[in-house]
Amino acid sequence: MPRTLAELVEEAVARDEPGFNDPRGPAPGGVDPLGLRQINFQLMDQVFPGVNNVARHIRPFVVVTWAWRRAAQLALRAGLSPAPTDLLRDFVDRIEVIYAWSQFLLAPAADLPGRDVLAQILQSGGYVFEGAEWGTRRDTRRYSTAFSAPINYGPALRALGWLEPAEDGSGAFKASAAAGPALDALEERMAAYLDHPAFSSFGRVDVSQADVRAWSEAWRLDDPSDAEKAVAAELLAGASANPRRAAGVALACAAFANSGDPEARSVRRAMSGPPSNFVPPAELVNTMAMWRKVQVRQVLRLALEALFAWSVDRLGIAPRPTAALVQAFLSAPGIPAAASTREWLGQGPANSGPVEHLEALEVALQARDRSEVPAAVLGAVAFCLAEAPAASESFEAAERLPLSVAARQASGFLDAPPSAFLRHVFEAWLFGQHTYWSIGRGLADARAQGKTLLRLRVVMDEGGWTLTPGAAAPTPLATADRLATILALAGESGLLAAHASA
């Protein structure tokens, strides 16, 4: 545990000669070193609200929603009114575990959360859903591998309209009326097994591996019924769905029909506009413009994090002043000479779009010496500045470097040499952003008694910029933009096929 200030003072007073500090301290960490990712997420909410990058299949939505309906029905039969919320949750948690267990038996690589956590159950002959171990397992899963967890299907179950909060404010949920046909279809498939205590009672239940294996085919992940598909399509993009999400799904389906390629990268390229020749229906033009903003912002974020990682690599050798980093950048392969920043930024690759720049950055970051990163960063930054809007979106906080703010700052250097602009990029867009967000998040963690992480990786020393002890910059990656989720759900629900044949 970290020592308190009083302990440190007491230790210092007791010393009568120099000594070494305790080497223990916070571990380096932090996945957003420049504080730029939140705008990505908020932009994505303008196109694909209510989904995330995990909830990619119809059947888990149906299983969890059915479990809440089944629990309410069992409570009513037992005369429990109102039923204790934890009793209902215990039943739902049990169904989630049994379902995941059954699908991992059927296909060990099934695209569901919790495979590693369930390893012990998968290797056993059965499991007893009761007692301290089950209680601990429930607590462990709640915010991590449970389907209903905030990082898995939980938010989408509510946002898409599968589940609704119970009216009594107890924290329980109830199945929405719209989900009914899908739940009835699942129950019909499981009808032969519903008398088993696992599906028909509260409290202790003994479940054997043989039972679970027998159930696995009836509700297999990759075989939703027509009723489930229809409900999923309506909740995802139908008349009752969020209008922004419905338009985003329609754009993705139209781009898929145009490209003929189910890969997310190809659809993303088409959806993002020039140099793609895809022309969306007139009613989707604004949605396509917003999607392009998502991708351009993605390019800016990845470019600056790539430059930060490149800088950390060089500071790991020795401290360097800003001028040395600027010179190293200007001397890198593929960096053109220019008398002014205006000329320098105008020499980027022609006929390129956001996806091409994302790909160039990803390739440059994967190289061992990252020597091609500066050229990829220059092309990406020049592209983003040319795409900058006149004003920021209402949700783009100035301290997160909106693209319009970056362009306004860059405009002040257009007639100056590239070295002057680069100095600003390193000192303001990289190290200034990094210091601001690292210290701010560290203080927030301390006040909340949360994570103890050394987020600050770069500081100023006598020799220039240097690394904090143990600092390293992991290879940044493009933030998953929910498109893969949309394509998966649209594919399973039949929306892609419907658009392709239209």
Residues 342 and 329: their CA atoms lie apart, in Å, by 17
Phi, psi of 52 (to 5 degrees): -135, -165
pLDDT grade for 502, boundaries at 50, 70 and 90: low
Query: pLDDT digit string (tens) for 242-292?
Result: 999 999 999 999 999 988 777 889 999 999 999 999 999 999 999 999 999
pLDDT given for residue 454 in this prediction = 72
Nearest alpha-carbon partner for 177 in 98, 223, 231, 244: 231
Query: For the chain, what are the domain ranges?
Result: 58-230, 241-286+481-501, 293-467
pLDDT tens readout for residues 337-392: 999 999 999 987 778 899 999 999 999 999 988 999 999 999 999 999 999 999 99
List, for residues 155-171, the tens digit of each pLDDT value.
999 999 999 999 888 88
For residues 492, 246, 487, 54, the Cα torsion angle rounded to the nearest 10 degrees is -90
CA 92/CA 121 separation, integer angstroms? 18
- pLDDT at position 395 is 86
Q: Is residue 1 scored above 50 in pLDDT?
A: no
Region 463-475: mean pLDDT is 84
Cα 132 to the center of its chain, rounded Å:
33
Q: Taking the model in full, what pTM does it have?
A: 0.89
Query: pLDDT tens digit string along 410-427?
Result: 999 999 999 999 999 999
Give pLDDT, residue 220: 97
Using alpha carbons only, how large is the chain's radius of gyration in Å?
A: 27
What pLDDT is recorded for position 9?
67
Handedness of CA 66, 69, 71, 76 (dihedral sign): negative
| pLDDT one-digit tens code per residue, 129-149 | 999 999 999 998 999 999 999
What is the average per-residue pLDDT within 402-409? 96
162, amino acid identity? W
Q: How confident is the model at residue 440 (pLDDT cuts 50, 70, 90)?
A: confident
The rounded mean pLDDT for the chain is 91
Alpha-carbon distance of 402 to 391, in angstroms, equals 9
pLDDT recorded at residue 348: 73
- Looking at the predicted structure, is the pLDDT value of residue 22 above 60? no
> Tell me, what DSSP letter sits at residue 125?
S
What does the pLDDT look like over 298-352, one tens digit per residue?
A: 999 999 999 999 999 999 888 999 999 999 999 999 999 999 999 999 987 778 8
Dihedral (C-alpha) 464, 470, 471, 472: value to the nearest 10 degrees? 120
Average pLDDT, stretch 445-457?
73
The CA distance from 303 to 322, in Å, is 18
**Digit-coded pLDDT (tens) for 73-123:** 999 999 998 899 999 999 999 999 999 999 999 999 999 998 888 888 998
Q: What percent of the chain has pLDDT over 90?
A: 76
Q: What is the DSSP letter of 427?
A: I
Q: Which of 210-224, 373-387, 474-488 has the lowest mean pLDDT?
A: 474-488
